[in-house]
Amino acid sequence: MYGLAWDASRFTIPEHQCEVHIVSYIYRGPYNLRIWEERDPVSQKLIAIKQYIDNYQQTRTIWMDGRSHPSDAAPHTWMGFSTGKWEGNILTVYTTHLKWGWIRRNGLRHTDQATLTEHFIRHGDQLTHTTVLTDPATLSEPLIKTEDLVLRLQNGQTWLYPCEPVVEIERPRETVPHYLPNENPFIHEFADLYKIPVDAALGGAETAYPEYQLKLKRTNIK
């Protein structure tokens, strides 16, 4: 229902123009990423792995010292609370305490009940990043994504994201662009483009498997 009510014009509202991409989504767009270690100055034990993501200027901490995740009552943030461990040459990270955030920027969001498991795997000058997003409220099964990053010398790279909201469209105060139930004019757009039933376009993980074709034939869904 949240996705069907979504109007992309919501991004023109000043308070949403600089809204940070949640950690489960932020790696999907163009950005520069810096990674470094934080160690105890005396023992040199690894305390945390830090990341700076220039997209929305986010600094992320991945705790590596074995600490526990906080209680459910602790604040939820854009980057969440992350703990990591090395599994061979793979850095595995588990994140909780996320805000509501994007699954895709088409209105589909996960809730603050979501958790994220990540695997960072280096192959020479390339880094494979795999994410597994789980949310009991919005996902019928874990959502897996991957992307590759390339090591580059940072000469003249842009590291800042100066976002200044402005009034793009004049509206009455407190107006939020949206569609009421059954009024979204784009519900059929994806289905018509690929010539599939609307139920298949709006369905969950079940519709991604070959067996779903048999269900369509049995029920004659159009």
pLDDT at 174 (0 to 100): 86
pLDDT at 221 (0 to 100): 56
pLDDT at 155 (0 to 100): 65
- Residues, the chain, total? 222
Q: What is the mean pLDDT of each run of 10 residues along the chain (222 residues)?
A: 90 91 92 94 97 94 97 96 97 97 88 97 96 94 94 75 90 91 92 90 87 83 54
Core vs surface per residue 10-30: b (16+ CB within 10 A) or e? bebbeeeeebbbbbbbbbbee
Say which CATH architecture domain 19-150 belongs to: Beta Barrel (2.40)
pLDDT at 105 (0 to 100): 83
pLDDT at 1 (0 to 100): 84
Stretch(es) of the chain classified as CATH 2.40.128: 19-150
Q: Looking up tokens 């000469």, which residue turns up?
A: 155
In angstroms, rounded to a whole number, what is the distance separating the alpha carbons of residues 142 and 132? 6
